[in-house]
Amino acid sequence: MADDDPTHDIGLDAAPPTAPATFRVEGDERVVIHVAGELDAQSGTDLTALIDDAFRRRPHAVVVDLADVTFVDSVGLSVLVTSHNRGQDDAIGFEVHNVTPACLRVFEITQLVDVLDLR
């Protein structure tokens, strides 16, 4: 009797698929990578490739703009921390701008507000 089953019809399969993240890159001496959507395992690979390309250009700074990011998971955080470390190793600034309140909470919980250059 499915009606008596407390797990019946809880809507776990009803979540809409998430839209893929989109990226826009601009600048030469200060490369800005604008991210929109979810920064997760799926989009983390693409962001890593864009950041790697930006570092190869040897700019003064690489900026990741999260103004339009709705969600960030551990993979997204890992990409940002790895990029921060690379920037330090290569003497290139690495900044994270416009962190949304929801995403900022993740940075606070993981104490990355004390590690990353958030603006």
Q: What are phi and psi of 111, to 5 degrees?
A: 60, 25
Domain count, the chain: 1
| pLDDT score, position 20 | 73
**pTM score over 0.95:** no
| pLDDT score, position 3 | 53
Q: Which domain holds residue 73?
A: 19-114
- Collapsing DSSP states into helix, strand and coil, what is residue 8? coil
Q: Give me the CATH number covering residue 40.
A: 3.30.750.24
In a domain, 34, yes or no: yes
In a domain, 12, yes or no: no
| pLDDT score, position 54 | 96
Cα 17 → chain centroid: 18
